[in-house]
Amino acid sequence: MKIIVLKETEPLETRVALIPAAVKKLVDMKAEVSVESGAGLEAGATDAEYEAAGASVSSDRAGLLAGADLLASVGCPTEETLRALREGATVIAHVRPFDAPSRLAPAIARRQKVLAMEMVPRSTIAQKMDALSSQANLAGYAAVVVATERLTRILPMMTTPAGTISPAKVFIIGAGVAGLQAIATARRLGARVEAFDVRAEVEEQIRSLGAKFVKFDLGETGGTAQGYAKQLTEEQLRKQRELMGKQCAGADVVITTAQVFGRKAPQLVTTEMVRQMRPGSVVVDMAVESGGNVECSKLNEEVLIEGVRVVGIGNLARHVPVPASQMYASNIVNLIAHFWNKEAAEIRYPLEDEIMKSCLIISNGEVLNDTVRNLMG
């Protein structure tokens, strides 16, 4: 089976789908791996390292696509890439299935298979393939680093002969994978951290990281069987904004991570709430790509509101491409290995398997996922 890795096409992307160590694992499984020249450079992997791991390296992008059985990618391949990819081949990528699925139309026409990394179930067995978690974890770390670098204060308490500096206050909204890592990172840097999540069960996790769980009574919130939050009603959101206003005003850093799977992110921090913060404070909206938790955040921009810096960097895992690519590549190899047929040295697609049933959203000219099919019209 011929697996290819290309240079990512999204302008701000720094990650690569497979690093040399992952290539070696696939080659040991008897896969043939080809890498586009320079694909790994921003993630610290050279062509020579790919070759040493057993891959062939080529600059002929069209040739690689035409001869591929499987394209491993970080971001969704463009329509042009799908049109150049061999008919019947497989794509494994973050395809953002609910954003603009019409981009995947060429894959239907060309009877390609699309495996969406976003659809890996949140089950124990699939944990090692869960790219949403691996990338969110690193993004949570990066959010704190980005905020700290822009903040006009320091995070830890310092007692010096010149006086005592009190620790910065960090308020984290949403304590899923990214939020918990942000809490842990801010705590390690010495900040006083408070956090809120609509899923009350995370209180214990927040406290075990040395942060305070802030309680707001929003009535029944609950979660889905997959562990995701449910969408709040308009009334609950209004109440949440009202209750959180004071919390935000007292914070030096606010990091928002709140997401509702498959839906637009809830708007939780209004511009008025930002105005109430001290000048020099920082707000990082980690949900900016899915609609934003912060009213005034702008994708890949920084906005100044009366001295408060609102950072809207999309996909913060791109700020740490070396570990992000290492984790992502490992997720991909684990997924491929799980469905690998040793005798034939190729991947199989058993639809009776829970993971495959969830991830395989397009196959043999058909859209298999109901939500994606409805969105495509």
Q: Is 257 a binder of ligand NAD (CB under 6 A)?
A: yes
Q: Is 197 a binder of ligand NAD (CB under 6 A)?
A: yes
Rounded to whole angstroms, the Cα distance separating 296 from 170 reads 19
Write 76-80 long-range contacts (CB < 8 A, 24+): 76/103, 76/104, 77/9, 78/9, 78/103, 79/103, 79/105, 79/106
With contacts defined by CB under 6 A, name the span among 39-47, 73-81, 224-232, 353-361 that binds ligand NAD. 224-232
Phi first, then psi, for residue 51 (nearest 5°) are: -65, -40
Residue 178 or 284: the one with the smaller Cβ distance to ligand NAD is 178
The answer to whether residue 188 is catalytic is no
- Cα Rg, the chain, nearest whole Å: 22
* Catalytic one of 47, 130, 197, 285: 130
Structure tokens at 148: 């700290």
Smallest gap from Cβ 155 to ligand NAD, in A, equals 22
Q: Could you give the angle at the alpha carbon of 138 between the alpha carbons of 133 and 140, nearest 5°?
A: 90
The answer to whether residue 290 is catalytic is no
Residue 14 or 293: the one with the smaller Cβ distance to ligand NAD is 293
Q: Is 266 a binder of ligand NAD (CB under 6 A)?
A: yes
Contacts of 250 (CB under 8 A, 6+ apart): 169, 171
Choice from 127, 267, 270, 271 touching ligand NAD (CB under 6 A): 127
At 7 the three-state DSSP class reads coil
Rounded to whole angstroms, the Cα distance separating 271 from 293 reads 11
With contacts defined by CB under 6 A, name the span among 159-167, 181-189, 253-261, 367-375 that binds ligand NAD. 253-261
Rounded to whole angstroms, the Cα distance separating 245 from 248 reads 5
* Catalytic one of 61, 96, 110, 122: 122
Residue 23 or 198: the one with the smaller Cβ distance to ligand NAD is 198
Looking at beta carbons, which residue is closest to ligand NAD? 176
Report whether 151 contacts 308 (CB < 8 A). no
Structure tokens at 231: 């969408």
Q: Is 134 a binder of ligand NAD (CB under 6 A)?
A: no
Q: How is residue 171 annotated by DSSP?
A: E
Single out the residue of 327, 285, 314, 330 nearest to residue 13, CA to CA. Answer: 314
Structure tokens at 233: 């009603």
Choice from 16, 177, 191, 367 touching ligand NAD (CB under 6 A): 177
Report whether 297 contacts 310 (CB < 8 A). yes
With contacts defined by CB under 6 A, name the span among 54-62, 101-109, 193-201, 207-215 that binds ligand NAD. 193-201
Smallest gap from Cβ 266 to ligand NAD, in A, equals 5
With contacts defined by CB under 6 A, name the span among 20-28, 87-95, 254-262, 324-332 that binds ligand NAD. 254-262
Q: Is 198 a binder of ligand NAD (CB under 6 A)?
A: yes
Choice from 5, 258, 311, 316 touching ligand NAD (CB under 6 A): 258
Structure tokens at 173: 């909204």
* Catalytic one of 58, 127, 231, 276: 127
**Touching ligand NAD, residues 40-99 (CB under 6 A):** none
Query: Would you tell me how many other CB atoms lie within 10 Å of the CB of residue 197?
Result: 24
**Touching ligand NAD, residues 342-371 (CB under 6 A):** none
At 42 the three-state DSSP class reads helix
The answer to whether residue 50 is catalytic is no
Smallest gap from Cβ 71 to ligand NAD, in A, equals 25
Report whether 256 contacts 268 (CB < 8 A). yes
The answer to whether residue 275 is catalytic is no
* Catalytic one of 112, 133, 259, 363: 133
Q: Which residues bind ligand NAD (CB under 6 A)?
A: 122-123, 127, 130, 132-133, 136, 173-179, 196-199, 227-229, 232, 240, 257-261, 266, 268
Catalytic residues: 122, 127, 130, 133, 228
